[in-house]
Structure 1
Amino acid sequence: MSRRRVIAGSVAASVAGTGVLGTAAGLSIASYFARQVLSPKPPLPDVEIVGYDDRTVTLTRTMASEAPGRYSLYWDGRDSHARLGEVLERAGGHVVRELLGVDFGELHEGPGRFTGYFYAGPPATTLPLPIEDVSIDGPLGEYPAWIVRAPQSGANRWAVLVHGRAAARAETLRAVRPLTDVGWTCLCPSYRNDQDAPADPAGRYGLGLTEWRDVEAAVAYAYAQGASEVMLTGWSMGGAVCLQLLDLSTYAEGISRVVLDAPVVDWLETIDFHARLNRVPMPLNRLAQRAVASPAVHGHFAGLSEPLDLPATNWVRRAAELRTPTLIIHSEDDDFVPYGPSAALATARPDLVRLEPWRVALHCREWNTEPDRWESVVREFAS
């Protein structure tokens, strides 16, 4: 029997075999959950700017806005940006943070978005190195990218920096300084479904199983520019993208090393984590996982243009297949991608995978809480 018939039959059996799954409501919930995971959404405000002066900004108090460290604040969509320092005061439902600088726009009260990016991209950035805008020819068209060139050195080494799901290229700029310090030119590409990149034909994320082709085009671009060595760096889903590229790309053998920050090492475990957070019954979660992998129903169920082989994203189970030296930086207190699979992968491959555990930091915000440590670890690994 073909794999297509086996998977389709398994999904049908799941629906028929469990009462809750046999209802139209159950199917709708499972489909909705799958589409929530896979559908790109524009960034929405998550804090309110309630006051400011020349040295401080007062925000509504959330788990993110009161976290220790240095962060970004966007408002007016992405038209305005400021860099924020440590918390100076907590009072009731508000938090007062140090204002390190406004890169563009005028501060005013109203909705804002609190992020871990810290550095904004062009046209205004506080990075001490110039950023070039380039375009990369990829499988769906032209993809905008940034290049930050390392000071002249003997080798022409390139690092391809891959941002996470629903994030932007600015997320990767925190890695530029330590990498250029040790001679790596940084290429920050976009990939399908980014706001400034081509959309996937179905308008859905592939969880790394489709996006790796876009990043492969960035690797090809680096080699076309004369790169003698290429490394990958990925955040969150960007880590999953890097792992799929290492598995499937013809360029995989030439990748010398990988840095992963809060990576999705196992999508099944990560989706389970979010199912529990959202109180999705586990049978419905399992149905959603099987349906997105089904050649028969992936399109109708989740709006996908091709099925997603989620078990192929379990790199704990596939640890023996890894062959590239890898540094994983991951917070034990990550609130979005569970730390456990990263730790399990490092345990399974101590010969190849180095784990740097963090505490306190929320998802992809390890640099924000301890930037000197983060940069030192990355600089050492990349040297």
Structure 2
Amino acid sequence: MHCRPRSGPAPFRPRRPGGWVSNRSLLGAAAALAAASFVGWLCLRIARSLVTPIVQRPERTRILDVDDGSVTFRADQDTSAPGVYSLYWGNRTGHARIGQVISSDNRARTVTRRVEKIYSGRLGRDTAGYWSGYVYPTPEGAGLPFEDVQLPGPAPAWLIPGTAQRPWVIHVHGLGGRRATGLRTAPFFQRLGCTQLLISFRGDPDAPPTPDGKHHLGLSELADVEAALDYAAAHGAGSIIISGWSMGATMALAAAHTSGHRDLITGLVLTAPVLDWHRTLFSHTASRRLPTALAMGVLRILRGPLHRFAGLAQPLDLRTLDFTAMAPPVPAIILHSVGDASTPIRISEDYAARFPDLVSLVRFPACRHTQEWNRDPALWENAVEGWLHHNAGSLSARSGPRIER
């Protein structure tokens, strides 16, 4: 006779602790992998955005009302800022020069500003555009005589004639900018008698793109600055001042150290300069309360084998553009806002403190990146003129014939 097993619940067998530990380890590893993947994706996204040209800027500044010679905006950091600026709309088909604040209404949170000049398009209620530190669209718009010239590249440039025996000034704009950047200071340099060359470079909106369609953050663009120096030297420049803005200042400093014409470069005017890409990116992430590891990740992507995922044909080793440990070969003046959120003034302060005999630093009230002249044109111009006269070599009468035809 066979005994049938008694039915009922299975006997309790305690689970070994190792199983729980193993599961927790797997969950932790999965979470770490997900976090690392997210950080990697974010680094790649930042790297791509840094080197990808902007096709169209968002147009978020809206006109609330238009009156005879004035416009009213919602008050914000841009529309309330002292100075003269530009409003572009319709993907740059419209352009107006916007003057000083006439009145403001704190209760309604609005600000009314003077319209100094409408260069193109029509301003109307509900027109939306973007705010810019540019002031003039062309030298003609600034009331200056000029000639269109073509530099090798091809890279179109504006040549503004000056007086013989005065230095040339080569204006170099920043990342994503245009040659019109330097036009706000061109009338000042013309009053000093300087011949001026406002250049474009590969990848900017006025010149052909780079072969891979990306910005190279000054590494390949420096060749176009060298072409401008070639042109100036071939047309009789005996001394050259480079006026660089943001990344243009990066290239100005690099040219002073490495150019074949560095013996002609007698001074550097650097507005909101990017002196060190590494410190700039680290400061940028820290100011936004992001992990500084992101900046390191971005730099590794740009210079390492992952550069192709950012759309680059060649890696970008930005360490080769860092000259902050070396004394500048010529006197330099830095004009920098204490409130610059893109390129912190601390980097400029450290550079000026390291080489006080060669680098002068002029601090500006808080303003947007590269809008120092807009914020206080008198401070900008008086500082540069005083610096030029103090460093007599920058205004030396060594120039030969001004323009060779």
TM range (shorter): 0.7 to 0.9
Tell me if the contact between 1:207 and 1:241 (Cα under 8 Å) persists in the aligned partners.
Answer: no
1:111 partnered with 2:111: no
Contact 1:315 1:345 survives alignment (8 Å): no
**Structure 2 spans left out of the alignment, 5+ residues:** 1-28, 389-394, 396-405
Larger gyration radius, structure 1 or structure 2: 2
> Which residue matches 1:32?
45
Q: Does 1:304 align with 2:312?
A: yes
Counterpart-to-counterpart distance in 1, 2:270 and 2:34:
37
Q: Where do residues 199-278 of structure 1 align in structure 2 (5 Å cutoff)?
A: 199-278=209-288
Q: Counterpart in 1 of 2:349?
A: 343
Residues 28 and 251 of structure 1: is their aligned pair in 2 closer, same or farther, counting only changes over 3 Å?
A: same
For 1:205 and 1:190, locate their aligned partners in 2 and report how far apart those are by CA, in whole Å.
13
Aligned AA for 2:319? P
Shift of 1:111: 1.3
- Distance between the aligned counterparts of 2:156 and 2:356, measured in 1? 37
Aligned residue in 1 for 2:369: 363
Residues 21 and 284 in structure 1, CA contact (< 8 A), matched pair in contact too: no
Whether 1:73 and 2:90 are equivalent positions in the alignment is no
Q: 1:195 corresponds to which residue? A: 205
Identity level (%): 35
- Matched letter for residue 260 of structure 1: L
The Cα offsets for residues 34-62 of structure 1, whole Å up to 9 and x where unpaired, read as 11111110333231122212221112332
Deviation at 1:20, TM superposition (A): 5.7
Q: Give, in angstroms, the shift of residue 137 of structure 1.
A: 1.0
Deviations 1:46-83, CA, capped at 9 Å, x for gaps:
31122212221112332112111111111222222222
- The residue that corresponds to 1:134 in the other structure is 149
Change (3 A) 1:210 1:280: farther
Task: State how far apart, in whole Å, the 2-side matches of 1:163 and 1:21 are.
Answer: 40
Judged with a 3 Å threshold, the aligned counterparts in structure 2 of structure 1 residues 310 and 143 are, in CA distance, closer, same or farther, namely same
Q: Would the aligned equivalents of 2:249 and 2:274 in 1 still touch at CA under 8 Å? A: yes
Q: Please state whether the residue corresponding to 1:145 is helix, strand or coil.
A: strand
Residue 22 of structure 1: how far off its partner (Å): 7.7
The question of whether the paired residues in 1 share the 8 Å contact of 2:98 and 2:114 is answered with: yes
Size of the aligned set, in residue pairs, is: 356
Retained in 2: the 8 A contact 1:346–1:353? Answer: yes
Q: Residue 144 of structure 1: which of 128, 148, 156 is its match?
A: 156
| Equivalent-residue separation in structure 2 for 1:46 and 1:162 (angstroms) | 28
Q: Is the 8 A contact 2:271 2:370 kept in 1?
A: yes
Which position in structure 2 is the counterpart of 1:95? 111
Amino acid aligned to 1:376: N
Question: Which residue of the partner structure matches residue 384 of structure 2?
Answer: 378
Task: Check the 8 A contact 2:284/2:341 in 1, yes or no.
Answer: no
1:184 corresponds to which letter in structure 2?
A: C
Counterpart amino acid of 2:358? L
Contact kept, 8 Å, 1:209 with 1:244, in 2: the verdict is no
* Residue number among 75, 81, 97 corresponding to 1:83 in the alignment: 97
User: Is residue 158 of structure 2 the alignment partner of residue 121 of structure 1?
Assistant: no
Give the drift of 1:274.
2.7
Deviation at 1:19, TM superposition (A): 4.3
- Asked whether 1:319 is paired with 2:335, we answer no
Q: CA deviation at 1:362?
A: 2.0
Partners of 1:213 and 1:192 lie apart in 2 by 9
- Cα offset, 1:343, TM superposition: 0.7
2-side partners of 1:260 and 1:207: how far apart? 16
> 1:68-103: CA deviations, max 9, x gaps?
111111122222222222222144343211222222
Q: Once the 2 structures are TM-superposed, how far is the Cα of residue 212 of structure 1 from its aligned partner?
A: 0.9
Separation in structure 2 between the aligned mates of residue 149 and residue 356 of structure 1, nearest angstrom = 28
